[in-house]
Amino acid sequence: MLILLDRDGVLNEDRPDFVKSPDELVMLAGAATAVARLNAAGHTIAVVSNQSGVGRGLMTQADLDAVNAALIEAVASAGGWLDAVIVCTDPPWAATARRKPGPGMLHEALTQFAAPPSDAVMIGDTLRDLEAAAALGIRRILVRSGKGRASEASGLPPSVQPVAVYDDLAAAAAALLAQGVA
Ligand SMILES: [Mg+2]
């Protein structure tokens, strides 16, 4: 299946001031290995990530590219790979439908991999990740890493239910693999 991953708070530590350089990229425990396990089971993995730090002028596209290259390297070190890294650099005040909670990036991933929504799952740490997936009828998983615990505590509205909740990407991946959804 197509597994859509938010980046910050799912694969790497979320930073309120944005991950602006490879030095600021801190992988979450077990995340890279989880990706490798999902790869090995035959899943396609696409990152769909809001990166408004570029649109806000806090970092450049080249900075973002360098961070994502470091992310890809970290995943590769665990024996895994990312099939696509899709980003949206829109600032919130000029958001297009690509910026989550808009479904644009998720739709692009479905199209790129010719996957129907029923064969996809979104894993994220914020409500907007879940909203973007719900808009397309994509299955939803919340992880408690990053902003996830706060997102869960805030209450998840009926519009995004049902949502499966796991402690982190490693736990979510283990559950997906146990369900035999390869
Ligand atoms: Mg996030």
* Catalytic residue (choose from 8, 14, 63, 90): 8
CATH number of domain containing 10: 3.40.50.1000
8 is catalytic: yes
> How high is the pLDDT of residue 181?
65
Low-confidence residues of the chain: pLDDT under 70: 181-182
What's the CA gap between 95 and 102, in Å, rounded? 9
Q: Maximum distance among all alpha carbons in the chain?
A: 43
**Global pTM value:** 0.97
> How high is the pLDDT of residue 106?
98
Distance 5 CA to ligand 1 centre (A): 9
In the 8-state DSSP scheme, what is residue 28? P
> How high is the pLDDT of residue 180?
78
Residue 101 CB neighbours (<10 A): 18
Q: How many domains does the chain divide into?
A: 1
Owning domain of residue 132: 2-178
6 is catalytic: yes
> How high is the pLDDT of residue 164?
98
> How high is the pLDDT of residue 79?
98
